[in-house]
A and B are shown apart, each in its own frame.
Chain A
Amino acid sequence: MANETIRCECGHENKEGTVLCEACGKPIEKNQHIDGNDQQNVLEMRYEGGARRSQTYKRTFVDKIWAFFSSVKVGVWLIVMTLIFSALGTIYPQEQFKNSPLPSSVFYEEEYGLTGKIFYQLGFHNMYDSWWYIILVALIGVSIIISSIDRYVPLRRALKNQKTKKNEVFVKRQRVVSFDNELSENDLNTLKTNLKKQRYKVHEENGHIFAEKNRFSRWGPYVNHIGLIIILIASIFRMFEVMHIDDYVWVREGEVQAIPGTGQEYFVENNEFIYEVYDPETEERFTRALEDVENPVPKNFQTNATIYRATNDPVLGEKPELERVTEGEIRLNQPVIFDGYSLYQSGTQVESEYNSISMELQVNDESLGGFTFDTDEAPSEFNLEESDTTITIDNWYPELEFTDEGPSSFSKYPRNPGIIFTVSSPDLDEDERFFYLQEEVIPLADNNQANVSVSDVDRRSASGLTVKKDNTLPLFGLGAGIFMIGVLQGLYWYHRRIWIHPKDGSYHIGVHTNKNWYGMNQELDKIRKGTNVKPFVDQQEMK
């Protein structure tokens, strides 16, 4: 397949596969079937009759692949398939949203029956991460790239090589035309003035007039496709861990935690967690709605946090030295941002844990004093000096549960504390044991003298914070921006051309716009105004 050329009668050398001569527009006889010009009077102007590789060479394997991906039909089918699969994935929740301790293999069938089982077995529960969904999107990417190159190159060449003087056939076979106009010098001058008023660039050559505007609009589709490709490239980058961090940390009130994903460099302290609900009494305008719902409507989730940075490289087990970086109020919609990282408010355990439990001791209505058990320190002994009383902590269960082997702790978090302790005091005949659980104190002996009661509990909330760092965001933003520019460029400006062709003392006029013929016709009325040009005829109007 040599790069043969076709010489037009105007003298221009066209590439093999050209449909309309790049210079004069004369149809090249043997290639008319490519754009379907043999079937219709109006010439197909979409790609200016340029030589598209996909339509010219169809022999080798590469040719065939190229032709396949450059087809709009194939592209549309790929989009339609992506569209259908995307939609199918929403029938049941995706695995990440299923919100159930059951494994997926059980969950979907249990919850949704046979259709759920099929959904799971087809892998639709992980639709958007599945290899075939990703391949589908990647194929769209390939299609975008190949079809754009296939069209852009010949289109650019055709528009660059176009001449003012066109072939008569080209002019007469445009969609909107006006034939055999008797135009005086005056008419021609008015026409040119009118064209310039409509911001056309007017060229002249041997009495032929060519007016053109907004050629850049033709590049719109290619620009927006570049935007999409950038977005796809950004999503490929995002698959690599280096490019983004996505982690989660629970921080209790008063606690300092290393921020995961920062390599023990940053730490966060939860100074206070604030949870507010809407009060139907004070928020009068919402009373009606608030009375209708059973649960209170949340108003604010907020963590007042301080961010620290380790100033030394901590040796394992050693506490790092911390330096304050910033502090802030983390709310939904208001993350705290520092050194490229962001902390988002995303989970709450309101007053889910006990900070401390205070108890009072009495013997015969006489106070022996009180003590406060701090759940973090969990001291093993208290001495009440005023009454010379000693409290010994025998067993400490942060999250109490009863198993076959007796009481034990489910976790190290004081969510349901249980304390077994012994009281020894000169006021007592013998030592007495007690069991604190669920804000009550139960004596373990039958005839105890001492009376222990809970005087106060202090609870704390835990705040769940998402840690994010995403280096791909600027790339996504760039892609989206370029896409929008390309779309607007292609949709809101129209590439319009008018050829005035002298023939035997009269003039044929041919008009082409790449879209919006309705607007073109209105513009033509303005251009024709004050001249002898006959009304334009649309050769392709819907009947």
Chain B
Amino acid sequence: MGFYELSSLFLNITFFLYLIATAFFGLTLGKNRESNKKSKAIKIAMTFTIIGFASQMTSYIFRWLQAGHIPVSNMFEYIYFFSMMLILAFVVIYFIYGIPALGLIALPIAVVIIGYGSMFPQEISPLVPSLQSNWLYIHVTTVALAQAILSISFIAGLLFLIKRVDQSQSSKETTFLELILFGVVSTIAYIILSSSFGAMDYEATFTKELEEQTVDVTYSMPALFQPHDSELVTEGVFNSGIETPGWMQGADAGLKLNTLVLSLTLGGILYGLLRLILKGRRVSALLNQKFDKINPDIVDDIMYRAIAIGFPLFTLGGLIFASIWAQQAWGRFWGWDPKEVWALVTWLFYAVFLHLRLTRGWHGKKSAWLAVVGFVIIMFNLIVINLVISGLHSYA
């Protein structure tokens, strides 16, 4: 077995270890369980988390050995490293503050993120000349670590909101909370769609005229939206005949729209089912009831502390190291590339967070909502900017 296979094997093991850890964290849910049973469950869950982290680390090192360069050079590798840092940050926070309920959110989110990352090509690719620099190691890893720590703030914020948003009646807050959960469910829906049709080797190819050239676009999911002005080539596959609007640019516009709509649809179905099972109750209301009591001051403090660590780290990795590398590679330290702009947006946003918190006393729920928005910005920068808007970073 080569390094590559070993790496894949350990990745699969990691995935299951985290799932098991999540299940044990799940045992802390509910009010009727005895507290000593709960603390046992927490110990087991943390053990699995730590073994899972060790396994992920092993997988990562094997991949590194195989590639000969640090695996942070494409979307799969970046998300992989990011999820690893997220777990690391959670473990550290757990040993400082000891709040197991955080694991109940952190672990499932890490699992979803790993699952999402695995949908991207996993081959080890060589470094193109612009990435051949030691700054790849320094810049990308610092940014990933910083984003992971900032995500801890979101996780703490989410926990805070689950416990502190008044669920006795529906409000804007409950709606937004449901929206977050819907987002998570839709991501899971995407993973389900992507991996099941992938396992079936589903393919539907369309041809399309683009700038006087014929291009093939291959869908790996049933085509709800075919590319604009295109024809189906593959026989015997489903085609709705609905075209992607012409103003959506690029050969893959239809593909992206199709994947998005399908994921949101299945996400909607799954979410609807959940609501049905709960007899119409909000999912967040159930979580509110099942989660153990928290000390709001401590969770609030974690939320802040994560940003107090993540913000300078992000400044260093995402702006300063990034500028130094850009200066070395292209002779300009700042070039308004979309990814650069969104790093600035992220930075400005957390600067706002800190100002509101430190000088205007935005604590608790207000702070928690900001932490949620911050995470949305980070995910937007990671996913949308890389996949939809092209630029220097569209590698990943």
A interface residue numbers (CB < 8 A to B): 46, 72-73, 75-76, 79-80, 82-83, 86-87, 89-91, 93-94, 96-97, 111-115, 127-128, 221, 246, 278, 283, 285-286, 288-290, 292, 297-301, 331-335, 342, 344, 346, 466, 468, 473, 476, 480, 483-484, 487-488, 491-492, 515-518, 538, 541-542
**In the complex, A248 Cα to B123 Cα: how many Å?**
37
Q: Tell me, yes or no, whether B278 is within 8 Å of chain A by CB.
A: no
Q: Are B363 and A76 in contact (CB under 8 A)?
A: no
Taking the nearest CB of chain B, how far is it from the CB of A16, in angstroms?
Answer: 23
Taking the nearest CB of chain A, how far is it from the CB of B254, in angstroms?
Answer: 16
Q: Are B385 and A542 in contact (CB under 8 A)?
A: no
B247 interface neighbour in A113, A468, A516, Cβ under 8 Å: A113
Q: Tell me, yes or no, whether B222 is within 8 Å of chain A by CB.
A: no
Q: Are B297 and A518 in contact (CB under 8 A)?
A: yes
Q: Tell me, yes or no, whether B296 is within 8 Å of chain A by CB.
A: yes
- Cβ–Cβ < 8 Å partners of B390 in chain A: 93
Q: Are A72 and B359 in contact (CB under 8 A)?
A: yes
B130 interface neighbour in A115, A333, A342, Cβ under 8 Å: A333
**In the complex, A146 Cα to B389 Cα: how many Å?**
38
**In the complex, A96 Cα to B336 Cα: how many Å?**
10
**In the complex, A90 Cα to B316 Cα: how many Å?**
23
A76 interface neighbour in B123, B128, B352, B364, Cβ under 8 Å: B352
Q: Are A333 and B344 in contact (CB under 8 A)?
A: no
The stretch that binds A, out of B100-108, B283-291, B326-334, is: B326-334
- Cβ–Cβ < 8 Å partners of A289 in chain B: 121, 123-126
- Cβ–Cβ < 8 Å partners of B319 in chain A: 480
- Cβ–Cβ < 8 Å partners of B268 in chain A: none
Q: Are B331 and A87 in contact (CB under 8 A)?
A: no
Q: Tell me, yes or no, whether B242 is within 8 Å of chain A by CB.
A: no
**In the complex, A491 Cα to B130 Cα: how many Å?**
35
Q: Are B124 and A285 in contact (CB under 8 A)?
A: yes
Supposing A285-B67, A344-B331 touch, asked if A90 and B312 sit within 8 A by C-beta, the answer is no
Chain A residue nearest in CB terms to B97: A518
- Cβ–Cβ < 8 Å partners of B124 in chain A: 285-286, 288-289
Q: Tell me, yes or no, whether B237 is within 8 Å of chain A by CB.
A: no
Q: Tell me, yes or no, whether B129 is within 8 Å of chain A by CB.
A: yes
Supposing A87-B342, A483-B315 touch, asked if A285 and B68 sit within 8 A by C-beta, the answer is yes
Q: Tell me, yes or no, whether B138 is within 8 Å of chain A by CB.
A: no
Interface size on B, residues (CB 8 A): 61
**In the complex, A96 Cα to B327 Cα: how many Å?**
18
**In the complex, A127 Cα to B342 Cα: how many Å?**
14
Q: Are A285 and B66 in contact (CB under 8 A)?
A: yes
Taking the nearest CB of chain A, how far is it from the CB of B333, in angstroms?
Answer: 7
Q: Are B330 and A466 in contact (CB under 8 A)?
A: yes
Q: Are B249 and A333 in contact (CB under 8 A)?
A: no
Report whether over half of chain B's contact residues are helix, strand or loop; otherwise say mixed: helix
- Cβ–Cβ < 8 Å partners of B260 in chain A: none
Taking the nearest CB of chain A, how far is it from the CB of B52, in angstroms?
Answer: 27
Q: Are B330 and A344 in contact (CB under 8 A)?
A: yes
Supposing A72-B355, A333-B328 touch, asked if A487 and B130 sit within 8 A by C-beta, the answer is no
Q: Are A86 and B298 in contact (CB under 8 A)?
A: no
Q: Are B360 and A73 in contact (CB under 8 A)?
A: yes
Q: In chain B between 311 and 367, which residues have their CB closer than 8 angstroms to a CB of chain A?
A: 311-312, 315-316, 319-320, 323, 327-333, 336-338, 341-342, 344-345, 348-349, 351-352, 355-356, 358-360, 363-364
Q: In chain B between 123 and 146, which residues have their CB closer than 8 angstroms to a CB of chain A?
A: 123-126, 128-130, 132-133, 135
Q: Are A286 and B126 in contact (CB under 8 A)?
A: yes
Taking the nearest CB of chain B, how far is it from the CB of A379, in angstroms?
Answer: 38
Taking the nearest CB of chain A, how far is it from the CB of B337, in angstroms?
Answer: 8
**In the complex, A346 Cα to B331 Cα: how many Å?**
9
Q: Are B249 and A79 in contact (CB under 8 A)?
A: no
- Cβ–Cβ < 8 Å partners of A517 in chain B: 297, 301
> What 0/1 pattern do residues 66 to 84 of B give for CB contact below 8 A with A?
1110000000000000000
Q: Are A298 and B247 in contact (CB under 8 A)?
A: no
Q: Are A346 and B341 in contact (CB under 8 A)?
A: no
Chain B residue nearest in CB terms to A476: B333
- Cβ–Cβ < 8 Å partners of A516 in chain B: 301, 305
- Cβ–Cβ < 8 Å partners of A483 in chain B: 315
Q: Are A473 and B327 in contact (CB under 8 A)?
A: yes
Chain A residue nearest in CB terms to B298: A518
Taking the nearest CB of chain A, how far is it from the CB of B361, in angstroms?
Answer: 8
- Cβ–Cβ < 8 Å partners of B332 in chain A: 246, 468
Q: Are A83 and B348 in contact (CB under 8 A)?
A: yes
6 A-B pairs (CB sep. < 8 Å): A115-B247, A246-B331, A288-B123, A297-B128, A476-B323, A515-B358
Taking the nearest CB of chain B, how far is it from the CB of A336, in angstroms?
Answer: 11
Q: Tell me, yes or no, whether B308 is within 8 Å of chain A by CB.
A: yes
Q: Tell me, yes or no, whether B391 is within 8 Å of chain A by CB.
A: yes
Q: Are A480 and B320 in contact (CB under 8 A)?
A: yes
Q: Are B132 and A79 in contact (CB under 8 A)?
A: no
- Cβ–Cβ < 8 Å partners of B296 in chain A: 542
- Cβ–Cβ < 8 Å partners of A515 in chain B: 358
Given contacts A46-B359, A76-B355, 20 further A-B contacts (CB under 8 A): A86-B341, A87-B342, A112-B247, A221-B358, A285-B68, A289-B124, A297-B126, A298-B129, A299-B128, A333-B129, A333-B132, A342-B331, A344-B331, A480-B323, A491-B308, A491-B311, A517-B297, A517-B301, A518-B298, A538-B297
**In the complex, A90 Cα to B345 Cα: how many Å?**
11
Q: Are A90 and B338 in contact (CB under 8 A)?
A: yes
